[in-house]
């Protein structure tokens, strides 16, 4: 049991680290890769990788997928079509650290969805851990100053709040995966449906520009397709099955820590002492949440 918990936390931690790189790349290439090109390109590459791995199993379970078509459609819309695509839209107007911070309501949304639909109570210990982690986020966001004076949401920030909700919805739906269906098979089916949904909008809006992308841009899409789409999603889904949605979700609070470090390394953004303090508070909240088991009704 202890080994399973360790594997779950390591899987979630690695996935969150990879997704923080997604945010940095979205910022770094916002002027050369359009949002739909980011989304369609990475998932098309992911599909090419996944089909040889799980295409046969996906076909074997085609009758099951037809029975659960609304569930599969929900996974594809929330996890493939909307999540991350909204990040690429937001990256055109806000910086990587702000993107990470505004994406952090996702674990809260996930905990609420879990409590409402799975009848799963959030224990006082876990609630305390979440509150501590949120406090760390606010420390980073406000610089330790008065919240009302420091937080100034821009119009584009709403996209990130929506992104947080859709990612939570995806994680919630993913937790309903039946044991007989492997993570890889379900991800392949989800990506296939998502790509088919993205395809018309991509060709209608971005195909002309997409043909002009250079080698560097294709390298970015390949990285996102391999590491951020296939590996990170499989790791995240594995964490959900090992330690549950609430504990997996709390690890998501480390994303701004990774983004701050990445922004400093790649964009020369200075790391402030208050950001280090906030990161330590976030880690403390994650540790505290992990100390308590989720209670069932």
In a domain, 267, yes or no: no
Read off the tokens for 93.
Answer: 């107007």
**pTM of the predicted model, to two decimals?**
0.82
pLDDT top residue among 4 and 233: 233
User: Which domain, by its residues, includes 56?
Assistant: 2-115+153-254
Which of 67-71, 93-97, 140-144, 201-205 has the highest mean predicted lDDT (pLDDT)? 67-71
DSSP 119: -
Average pLDDT score over the chain:
84
- The count of domains in the chain is 1
Quick check: 184 pLDDT over 80? yes
In a domain, 41, yes or no: yes
Show the beta-strand stretches assigned E in 10-109.
Answer: none
Say what the pLDDT of residue 105 is.
77
Taking the C-alpha atoms of 177, 183, 186 and 188 in order, what is their torsion angle to the nearest 10 degrees? 170
CB under 8 Å to 18, separation ≥6 — which residues? 227, 228, 231, 232, 235
In a domain, 135, yes or no: no
In a domain, 261, yes or no: no
pLDDT top residue among 297 and 118: 118
In a domain, 291, yes or no: no
Average pLDDT on 133-137 reads 77
In a domain, 239, yes or no: yes
In a domain, 284, yes or no: no
Secondary structure (3-state) at 105: coil
In a domain, 195, yes or no: yes
Residue 120 bridge partners (DSSP)? 296
Quick check: 141 pLDDT over 80? no
Positive or negative, the CA dihedral 96, 202, 209, 46 is positive
């Amino acid at each position: 049991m202890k080994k399973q918990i360790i594997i779950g936390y390591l899987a979630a931690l690695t996935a969150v680290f990879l997704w923080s790189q997604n945010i940095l790349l979205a910022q770094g290439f916002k002027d050369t890769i359009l949002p739909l090109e980011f989304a369609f390109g990475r998932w098309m590459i992911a599909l090419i990788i996944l089909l040889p791995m799980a295409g046969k199993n996906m076909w074997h379970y085609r009758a099951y997928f037809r029975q659960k078509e609304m569930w599969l459609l929900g996974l594809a819309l929330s996890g493939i079509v909307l999540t991350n695509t909204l990040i690429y839209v937001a990256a055109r107007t806000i910086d990587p650290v702000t993107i990470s911070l505004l994406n952090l309501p996702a674990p809260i949304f996930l905990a609420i969805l879990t409590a409402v639909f799975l009848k799963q109570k959030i224990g006082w210990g876990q609630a305390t851990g979440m509150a501590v982690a949120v406090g760390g986020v606010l420390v980073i966001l406000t610089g330790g100053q008065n919240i009302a004076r420091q937080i100034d949401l821009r119009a584009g920030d709403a996209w990130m709040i929506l992104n947080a909700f859709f990612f939570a919805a995806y994680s919630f739906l993913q937790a309903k995966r039946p044991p007989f269906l492997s993570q890889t098979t379900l991800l392949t089916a989800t990506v296939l449906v998502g790509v088919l949904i993205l395809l018309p909008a991509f060709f209608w809006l971005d195909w002309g520009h997409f043909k002009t992308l250079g080698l560097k841009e294709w390298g970015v899409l390949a990285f996102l397709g391999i590491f951020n789409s296939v590996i990170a999603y499989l790791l995240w889904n594995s964490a959900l099955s090992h330690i549950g949605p609430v504990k997996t979700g709390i690890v998501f609070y480390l994303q701004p820590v990774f983004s701050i470090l990445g922004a400093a390394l790649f964009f020369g953004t200075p790391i402030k002492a208050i950001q280090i303090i906030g990161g330590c508070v976030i880690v403390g909240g994650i540790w505290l949440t992990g100390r308590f088991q989720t209670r069932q009704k």
